[in-house]
């Protein structure tokens, strides 16, 4: 797959670069450039990212960072079976349990919410940092909803992290998930309050909490640009009508000149005789 010339491979994380040092330099550079493309395209073009991840995987399947990148690319492309296999491989290589929550979410994607819940209760969860534990809680709540257990999903999300006033990287998503679960359970008033709290915490627009809040408040957003275009179109149409009307008047005047004036006089100024 083609790679832009401005991609050198130096853009990748230093820890990944260190992992690639086990490879010959030329090969390491090729793998690094493909990993950069995976990172660039992951959000906006998951299938493109997946393609580059497969190239990197073919070149260096024994590098944990490559397996992890391939896992995230497959996950973003909703290829949950492949993603889970790659995450498991990366975990075996490094012994790192940071991928535990996303592995559990892959189980959800494969239609196995019960397995995701089992993973949420596993000893590995206690080894996760705070962000990982919150992510695991979100996955567990999602699994409960998959199983139709709305009340249990709500209870799962109730935690010190949810109640905290401080804003952390996970705060907006946690509040949003809680609001969405409340709304699904028919608790609209509470849901509205928590969507508002999610908006307060969502500093980078990672959720559509503001849109959900506006929807609950009955606010309709007007596309000003579209309205301007419609107004311009109406104005142009009116001008066309005016021009057509003017052309019709000119045509009538011309006919009068050719056939005689309307007051009964001929072209030479003499009166017509009856």
Give bridge partners of residue 265 from the DSSP assignment: 271
Tokens of residue 220, six digits? 């309709």
pLDDT at 198: 96
The β-bridge partners of 271 are 265
Contact predicate 112/103, CB 8 Å? no
Query: How buried is residue 42: exposed, middle or buried, by Cβ count under 10 Å (0-12/13-18/19+)?
Result: buried
Summarised one tens digit per residue, pLDDT across range 58-115 is: 999 999 999 999 999 999 999 999 999 999 999 999 999 999 999 999 999 999 999 9
Place of tokens 């949950």: 80
Identify the band that residue 270 occupies on the pLDDT scale cut at 50, 70 and 90.
Answer: very low
What would the pLDDT profile of 203-257 be if each residue is shown by its tens digit?
989 999 999 999 998 876 565 565 556 556 555 555 655 555 555 545 545 544 4
> Per residue in 119-130, pLDDT tens?
999 999 999 999
Using the structure block, give the residue that is written with the tokens 């491979």.
9
**Segment (H or E) for 113:** helix 113-120
Give 265's pLDDT tier (boundaries 50, 70, 90). very low
Consecutive H or E run containing 201? helix 188-201
The two three-digit tokens of residue 199, written as one number: 């908006």
Under 8 Å between Cβ of 267 and 260: yes
Please state which of the ranges 30-39, 48-57, 222-231 shows the lowest mean pLDDT: 222-231
Mean pLDDT along residues 133-150: 97
């Amino acid at each position: 797959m083609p790679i832009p010339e401005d991609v050198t491979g130096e853009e990748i994380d230093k820890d990944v670069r260190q992992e690639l040092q086990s490879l010959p330099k030329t090969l390491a550079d090729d793998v690094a450039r493909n990993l950069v493309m995976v990172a660039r395209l992951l959000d906006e073009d998951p299938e493109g990212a997946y393609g580059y991840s497969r190239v990197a995987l073919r070149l260096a399947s024994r590098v944990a960072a490559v397996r992890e990148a391939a896992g995230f690319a497959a996950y973003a492309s909703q290829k949950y079976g492949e993603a889970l296999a790659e995450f498991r491989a990366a975990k075996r290589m490094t012994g790192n349990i940071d991928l535990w929550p996303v592995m559990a979410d892959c189980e959800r994607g494969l239609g196995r919410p019960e397995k995701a819940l089992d993973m949420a209760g596993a000893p590995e969860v206690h080894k996760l940092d705070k962000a990982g534990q919150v992510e695991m809680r979100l996955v567990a709540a999602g699994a409960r909803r998959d199983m139709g257990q709305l009340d249990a999903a709500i209870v799962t999300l109730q935690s010190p992290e949810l109640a905290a006033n401080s804003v952390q990287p996970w705060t907006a998503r946690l509040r949003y998930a809680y609001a969405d679960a409340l709304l699904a359970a028919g608790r609209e008033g509470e849901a509205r309050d928590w969507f508002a709290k999610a908006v307060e915490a969502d500093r980078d627009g990672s959720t559509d909490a503001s849109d959900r809040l506006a929807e609950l408040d009955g606010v309709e957003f007007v596309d000003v640009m579209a309205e301007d275009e419609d107004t311009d179109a109406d104005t142009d149409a009116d001008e066309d009508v005016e021009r057509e009307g003017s052309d019709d008047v000119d045509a009538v005047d011309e006919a009068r000149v050719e056939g005689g004036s309307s007051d009964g006089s001929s072209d030479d100024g003499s009166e017509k005789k009856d």
